[in-house]
Amino acid sequence: MSDQNNTQHIQLAEESIQKQTTTLNLGPTHPATHGIFENVLEIDGEKVLSATQRLGYIHRAFEKIAERRPYGQIQPLTDRLNYCSAPINNIGWQLTVEKLLGLTMPKRVDYLRVILMELARIADHLVCNSVVAVDTGALTPFTYVFQMRERIYEIYESICGARLTTNIGRIGGFERNFTDESWKKLDEFMVVFPKTLKEFESLLNRNRIFMDRCIGAGPISAERALNYGFTGPNLRATGVDYDVRVHSPYCSYEDFDFEIPVGTNGDVYDRFMVRNAEMWQSYSIIQQALTKLKDLDPSVYHADVPAYYLPEKKEVYTKMEALIYHFKIVMGEIDIKAGEVYHPVEGANGELGFYLISDGGRAPFRLHFRRPCFIYYQAYPEMIANGLLSDAVIALSSLNVIAGELDA
Amino acid sequence: MTNEYIQQILSDKFGAAVWGFEETFGIFSFNIKPEINTAVLQFLNDEASLSFQFLTDLTAVHYPDRKDEELCVVYHLHNLVANKRIRVRASVPVAQPDIATMTNLFSSANWMERETYDFFGVNFTGHPNLVRILNADEMNYFPMRKEYPMEDPTRTDKDDEMFGR
């Protein structure tokens, strides 16, 4: 240190070194990408200059497969779109077909569906938000909230037998009534969830380190977000209060009283906060649904539509009509009207749309999924340009891009 | 904004190039000539009383039986303020499936058009990067077209004469 002033610095001639950028492959199987998709980043030191996305790694041609499957058998394909909130996809598909067939559901079926969809939304947002925290370096909140996700999965399991790819419910209602076990688990969840979410929020919401990392990272303006086709929490974080549940109510959402949380800047922090606030709203919707269910006949779990809903197995063995319906439904020979339907639902990531064209045949003539991830992920290079590499990582996790939905 | 109003204003502006107005399952739909897709979508976007400024969805449908308009490009537009959805269809011949890109108007159209190109081979002229997006780059056919059946057509053990398409 003493001879600091005498240090000889190597003097380089002007422009003798060319400025170089580095190409970095973020993905396809990098832990920070949370799915199989690839970003080729051009970085200058820590600064991201551009990003080139590649996708399609888990493309499974669902739209093509659906053109050969009877309507009831398409539902398991929808599980695998956004697999973090499979019940929303399942129920969205059921609602689309019911719209085509002109079926109306009893209120109790609607409310049971609302409960499941809101549980799925909570599970999805928990994954997204806790993973944002992990990517900022906070691993603990993740372990807390994943216990809640586990409880939700146990509720699914006691209703339909599956956890991740649920295939829950059927066209015309539910395959069976909710079990006592599932009600018990749901009641337990309703007691413990607020405490955990509160704890999660107290760990992160006003955490100075977390705020400094997230505020201003990966921002997008409302105008650009709309032009890029953003929907769901990512759009609401920019300040646009568009929610399919309110704008095109389905499944009796008009009976519920809830708010649409919005942000202002459309950055990582706003997306995080919007998702947190939405979990409270979902919790309140479930509470309201549980209250409403008390006044309804607990034995109703499907509509009275024998031509579309599988009869009870014991009736199949004893009644001729039940046998005929059973045969027709299982063989995919139910009467389907010709028509062109677009049915949107509010998925956990945004507007999940089913564009279905039926020509009256046993399988759809054309089925297209409007996948919110696929559409808004295009904006990613614009959102991370001129930001830091570490901001690019949390921007990706806060967008909640799910590979299954991206690639369909 | 009623369906009649939209029909009136579009007919006045574009005449016979816009036809087939109908409401199916709550969405007002109509057909347009593929040459004027940019003009129509721009007009729907700019006209203050319409303001269809949100592109919800863009895809295509293959109708092999419709001579010279086999590929139907479908736009779903949404006016978020008035909460009105419409569907615009433009059909192009499969022999020469050219239609102008909408990427200048909607950034979201970029990947949706790439996907439509990837699966149906619709050629969106003027698109900045019209390459395959979900399928492998070296693929040389468009798999969602109806001439490609799901099952191997040479198989004889799966007879769909009674059940199936």
Residue in chain B nearest A351 by alpha carbon: B56
Q: Which of A13-22, A40-49, A77-86, A146-155 has the lowest mean pLDDT?
A: A13-22
Q: Give A253-280 pLDDT, tens digit per residue.
A: 999 999 999 999 999 999 999 999 999 9
- Contact call for A65 and B150, based on CB within 8 A: yes
- Contact call for B76 and A99, based on CB within 8 A: no
Residue A32: which pLDDT band, with cuts at 50, 70 and 90?
A: confident
Name which of B85, B108, B149 is nearest A378 (Cβ-Cβ): B108
Most confident of the following: A8-12, A347-351, A358-362: A347-351
- Contact call for B108 and A357, based on CB within 8 A: no
Task: Report d(CA B120, CA B142) in Å as an integer.
Answer: 5
A298: Cβ contacts below 8 Å, ≥ 6 apart:
A108, A177
Q: How many CB atoms lie within 10 A of CB A175?
A: 16
Q: Is the dihedral of CA A332, A334, A340, A346 positive or negative?
A: negative
pLDDT of residue B163: 55
Q: Is the dihedral of CA A270, A272, A274, A280 positive or negative?
A: negative
Look up residue B99 and give its amino acid. I
CB pairs under 8 A between A and B: 106
Beta strand A22-26 pairing with A38-44: antiparallel
- Contact call for B143 and A64, based on CB within 8 A: yes
Give chain B positions within 8 Å (CB) of A332. Answer: 163-164
Task: Report d(CA B91, CA B29) in Å as an integer.
Answer: 14
Mean pLDDT of A58-75: 91
Using a CB–CB cutoff of 8 Å, tell me whether B89 touches chain A.
no
Instruction: Walk across the sheet containing A22-26 and list its strands.
Output: A22-26, A38-44, A47-54
Q: Distance from B133 to chain A by nearest Cα, in Å?
A: 7
Task: Report the residue of B22, B115, B116 to disrupt the A interface, i.e. the one with the largest count of A CBs within 10 Å.
Answer: B115
pLDDT greater than 90 at residue A1: no
Tokens of A215: 């505020």
Q: Give A103-142 pLDDT, tens digit per residue.
A: 999 999 999 999 999 999 999 999 999 999 999 999 999 9
Q: How many CB atoms lie within 10 A of CB B97?
A: 21
Torsion (CA) A30, A33, A36, A40 in degrees, nearest 10: -80
Give chain B positions within 8 Å (CB) of A55. Answer: 133-134
pLDDT greater than 60 at residue A347: yes
Predicted complex: ipTM over 0.95: no
Give chain B positions within 8 Å (CB) of A227. Answer: 106-108
pTM to 2 decimal places: 0.92
Phi, psi of A290 (to 5 degrees): -65, -40
Residue B149: which pLDDT band, with cuts at 50, 70 and 90?
A: confident
Q: How far is CA A157 from the centre of its chain?
A: 19
Q: Distance from A1 to chain B by nearest Cα, in Å?
A: 56
CB-side neighbour CA atoms (13 Å) of A268: 32
Q: Give A185-208 pLDDT, tens digit per residue.
A: 999 999 999 999 999 999 999 999
Q: Give A236-254 pLDDT, tens digit per residue.
A: 999 999 999 999 999 999 9
Residue B165: which pLDDT band, with cuts at 50, 70 and 90?
A: very low
